[in-house]
Amino acid sequence: MKGTFYSDRFVGRKTSNGEIFTQDKYTAAHCSLKFGTLVLVTNPSTGKQVIVKINDRCPKRNVIDLTRLAARQIGVTCTTVKVRVLPPRFRHLWENQHKILDVLERGDFWKYAAEYYTSEMMAQRGNQAVQPAQASGDVTPLFNVELCRCHSRNTARKQVETLPIYYQECVSYKTNVSANEVVVILELFAKKERAESVANELKNLFPDAKVVSAK
């Protein structure tokens, strides 16, 4: 959709959900998304990303109106952007995205999120949490999930459309020329326990899903 940013004349006014509008928060207006919805906005020309919370209404369809802070982060004035709705559990990352600006600058949000929630899950189970997206010297093996193999990319894309939306951004397509097929990979870059958990979660949609090395 088209990405725009607010005029300063709205500063100090109430947004549609009753909050006071300011240009220095990661929020946005949309014509229909529920208030409080978290959205990952990507500038496709640069790959830069920002997470915003919907707290206002924009009268125009197919438009997301960003604060200047959010727009400046991804270099948007009035251009086409890619929008993905995030599940509520990503709220902590929205609130603390100033700590991961380098990740968003590189467009690596999904890889970071996969590692973040792997660490969180392990901590909840009493294991020592591993900090995500850390130094490249970490030799811990990471894994992805092979979802399926298809005879064409179009067929593969249709299969991917059945995935929960927060997984769709993590999908890559590998061409196996010798077998004349397209391999669909869910790029988690996660520890094996997490990858196995996701593979089991998706078994109903992808019966042949299996854990593979991320190398």
**Model pLDDT for residues 100-149, shown as the tens digit of each residue:** 999 999 999 988 887 776 555 545 444 443 444 444 444 568 899 999 99
Residues of the chain with CATH 2.40.40.10: 2-106
Query: Dihedral (C-alpha) 118, 122, 128, 129: value to the nearest 10 degrees?
Result: 30
pLDDT, one tens digit per residue, over 5-20 is 999 999 999 999 999 9
Helices (H), the chain: 68-74, 91-95, 101-106, 109-124, 153-160, 165-168, 192-201
For 136-213, CATH gives 3.30.70.1070
Query: Is the Cβ–Cβ distance between 211 and 196 less than 8 Å?
Result: yes
Helix (H, G, I), strand (E, B) or coil at 11: coil
> Which band of pLDDT confidence, cut at 50, 70 and 90, is reported for residue 150?
very high
| Four-residue CA torsion sign, 129, 135, 138, 141 | positive
* pLDDT number for residue 214: 81
Strand 2-5 relative to strand 79-80: parallel, antiparallel, unpaired? antiparallel
Q: Which helix (H) or strand (E) holds 28?
A: strand 27-30
Residues of the chain with CATH 3.30.70.1070: 136-213
Fold of the CATH domain 2-106:
Barwin-like endoglucanases (2.40.40)
Cα distance between residue 5 and residue 24, in whole Å: 12
